[in-house]
């Protein structure tokens, strides 16, 4: 199987799951080749390292094996405005670093401990997938371009995905492209039920259109209710969520540019 990977990373939980899904392919005896055309950094490299063969284009960026956690804190500003957040928790470390509370040295120490533990898990996972790596040498949060990444052992060869595909064809393989299209949600899902579509089998004529119209009204009302509810607390909820506290993300692609 050939996977063309393009990712600068994201949440530890999300990319840990993606890497586990790739391992499922390998557990069934599927040889996995990952092609990195531009970026496989941090969480992206967590996925990439599961491959039996990693192919990177000459100027692809690989690495950024590290973890980052950042949360803006507005406690002092809110205090000046006369606004105080009351957070009720059960459990000593249920809330440590958040946007709305005064951060203590104990809070910071616990967050640093959590980051360190996640970093150790990240390093152990990469080392288990690519034992030829000097993990302490590459697990610094740094990134490397094609040739340097090759010399560090982060990839196995330099080529593009097109080169790999042409090589498969030359060797007589049948090459297929597989794409996943998730089922539409919300109002977009109504298109699947319009008369004449494959999903509309029992309703026809005016009755079918009335049914679609009623479904549309109900769907729009539900969407509005969900949007209003989520907007009221989305900013605080997102910044406090465990999933967003620990990010495995790299911004090299946006920082490194070639200009005339």
| Catalytic machinery residues | 42, 94
Q: For residues 29 and 31, give the distance between their C-alpha atoms in angstroms, rounded to a whole number.
A: 6
Please compute, for residue 218, the number of CA atoms within 13 A of its CA located in the half-sphere on the CB side: 8
Instruction: State the first-to-last Cα distance of the chain, in angstroms, to the nearest integer.
Output: 38
Q: Which residues pair with 158 in a beta bridge?
A: 56
Torsion angle, CA of 107/108/111/115, rounded to 10 degrees? -170
């Amino acid at each position: 199987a050939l996977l063309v990977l393009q990712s600068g990373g994201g949440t530890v939980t999300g990319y840990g799951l993606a890497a586990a899904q790739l391992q499922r392919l390998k557990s069934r005896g599927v040889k996995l080749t990952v092609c990195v055309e531009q970026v496989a950094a941090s969480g992206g490299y967590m996925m990439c390292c599961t491959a039996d063969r990693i192919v990177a284009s000459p100027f692809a960026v690989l690495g950024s094996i590290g973890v980052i956690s950042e949360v803006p804190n507005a406690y002092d500003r809110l205090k000046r405005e006369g606004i105080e957040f009351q957070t009720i928790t059960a459990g000593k470390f249920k809330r440590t670093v958040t946007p709305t509370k005064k951060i203590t040295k104990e809070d910071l120490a616990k967050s640093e401990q959590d980051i360190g533990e996640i970093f150790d898990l990240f390093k152990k996972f990469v080392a288990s997938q690519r034992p030829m790596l000097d993990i302490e040498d590459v697990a610094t949060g740094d990134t490397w371009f094609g040739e340097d990444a090759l010399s560090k052992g982060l990839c196995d060869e330099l080529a593009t995905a097109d080169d790999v595909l042409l090589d498969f064809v030359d060797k007589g393989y049948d090459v297929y492209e597989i794409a996943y299209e998730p089922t539409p949600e919300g109002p977009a899902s109504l298109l699947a039920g319009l008369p004449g579509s494959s999903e509309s089998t029992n309703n026809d004529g005016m009755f079918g259109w009335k049914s679609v119209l009623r479904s549309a009204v109900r769907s729009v009302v539900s969407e509005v209710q969900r949007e209003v509810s989520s907007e009221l607390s989305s900013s605080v909820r997102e910044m406090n969520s465990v999933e967003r506290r620990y990010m495995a993300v790299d911004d090299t692609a946006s920082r490194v540019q070639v200009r005339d």
